[in-house]
Structure 1
């Protein structure tokens, strides 16, 4: 549930400032490695290429050092170094490079994901695009994007027929074969389908550019920051049954209730 915890204004401001310090550090580290011809990658899995680079590890290390200094009582869940317990009831959920495949191949739409969560889910999220220079944030009273063109409010697109909707997903070979068939039922009914933008697709949904993002096989650090940003912009993020997806799995992000309900119906096989 978004904004399930209320903070004093000075506390909220401090949390937001911490998130921006984390994003600034990750932006600096990742850009040191981006498009370097000598950049190499390890793989986390043997069955498929799941890359991790020193940019991923270095950015998360820097963010953890900031949190140790600024918020030592908070827990951390990071993609590269796992969970660190805390006592405050708050957890920082970090994905230092969302879209490492894109990062490795020089495409610009990878990003840094930072969420602040409690036991009910994400309270605040930040999607930073270091190379593009755009930063999307939502929660704790904010729903905005800042970047080269200045600052603007985030607001999802209004309701429309599914046949007029724009749908994004990172991979065309989504999830299991059953997941792929369910996704295809939605893809066949929308106006436009595009692939490959990783977290930037969620940012575009919050900015009012597209209507749907449907994915599977996610982790908590993949979805919690986008959840907070999209909900702050008026959108909906659930699993494929309409339930909570804060811990990952299959997720559908929708700009409004109309396209959400229509897509859920097709994902369920109706």
Structure 2
């Protein structure tokens, strides 16, 4: 267990876990209300492409922020849709109300709600929640577990294996810039299976022991902090492409073990 998975004296572990689940419950109500609804519209946040936001994104974040105002008013908040609010406790809640809004618009159940609580070291507890399937993955505070249609079970990453036997995910086939795409393809050429899509659900699959690698670029802090907490608690590792801290986003590799991470990092670096 890393330092990130230990809650410190500024927050009682049981209280923070309970609040995190209350946030996920609140977001479930709002996201399910609009999912696969007729006539769901989206605004575009990107003038050069398509970065959608829907009423469900905003309503889910607003619902979570309302819980935090009531139960943790001293904590900071960073959310994708409503920005940052400073706190006084040293803890910050990092929220992505719908990670995978494109998938949400398309009706695929691979989007998720991301919730992390962080201190100056990064995320110390996180939840990846998929409301439609009813799966919730959590990690930190001495636990790594999930609940879903098959009940509750512990989370543990896949056993170490050679890169040639690995399953690799990324969200977008183009990954990022042409250079980032070329770096990703060097890894994809070496693994057994490469799949696309899934957004945050790919990170949940890694923590659940189904896959070995997720490689992405262009992430924000709210895209990756909850996955970091869950994956590290399950025994996996996450870093930037150059081996640094991934909590701020950017280019990220998540892997089932350090050896897999090193192998992927060598390839994206051009090795």
Same fold at TM > 0.5 = yes
Root-mean-square deviation over aligned CA pairs: 1.1
- 2:113 maps to 1:112: yes
8 Å contact kept, 2:126–2:139: yes
- Gaps of at least 5 residues in structure 2 are none
Quote the Cα distance in structure 2 between the aligned partners of 1:45 and 1:13: 39
Shift of 1:6: 2.8
Shift of 1:147: 1.1
Equivalenced residues, count: 269
Quote the Cα distance in structure 1 between the aligned partners of 2:149 and 2:96: 23
Quote the Cα distance in structure 2 between the aligned partners of 1:105 and 1:268: 34
Alignment match, 1:195: 196
Secondary structure of 2:110's aligned partner = coil
8 Å contact kept, 1:4–1:120: no
Shift of 1:58: 0.3
- Superposed CA deviations along residues 1-58 of structure 1, whole A, max 9, x for unmatched, are 41354349x9211100000000000001000000001100000011001000000000
If the length of structure 2 is used for normalisation, what is the TM-score?
A: 0.97
Shift of 1:167: 0.1
Alignment match, 2:8: 6
Alignment match, 1:47: 48
8 Å contact kept, 1:113–1:128: yes
8 Å contact kept, 1:166–1:211: yes
- 2:244 maps to 1:235: no
Alignment match, 2:28: 27
Quote the Cα distance in structure 2 between the aligned partners of 1:210 and 1:3: 22
Secondary structure of 1:2's aligned partner = helix
Secondary structure of 2:98's aligned partner = strand
- Superposed CA deviations along residues 150-179 of structure 1, whole A, max 9, x for unmatched, are 100000012111000000000010111111
8 Å contact kept, 1:165–1:192: yes
Secondary structure of 1:204's aligned partner = helix
- 2:165 maps to 1:164: yes
Quote the Cα distance in structure 2 between the aligned partners of 1:215 and 1:240: 9
Quote the Cα distance in structure 2 between the aligned partners of 1:38 and 1:170: 25
Q: Following superposition, which runs of at least 4 residues in structure 1 exceed 2 angstroms of deviation?
A: 3-8
- Gaps of at least 5 residues in structure 1 are none
Residue 24 to residue 5, structure 1, CA distance change in 2 (3 Å) = closer
Alignment match, 2:140: 139
8 Å contact kept, 2:116–2:225: yes
- Superposed CA deviations along residues 109-150 of structure 1, whole A, max 9, x for unmatched, are 100000000011000010000000000000011100011211
Alignment match, 2:261: 260
- Superposed CA deviations along residues 31-88 of structure 1, whole A, max 9, x for unmatched, are 0000001100000011001000000000000100000000000000000000000000
Quote the Cα distance in structure 2 between the aligned partners of 1:207 and 1:45: 33
Alignment match, 1:100: 101
If the length of structure 1 is used for normalisation, what is the TM-score?
A: 0.98
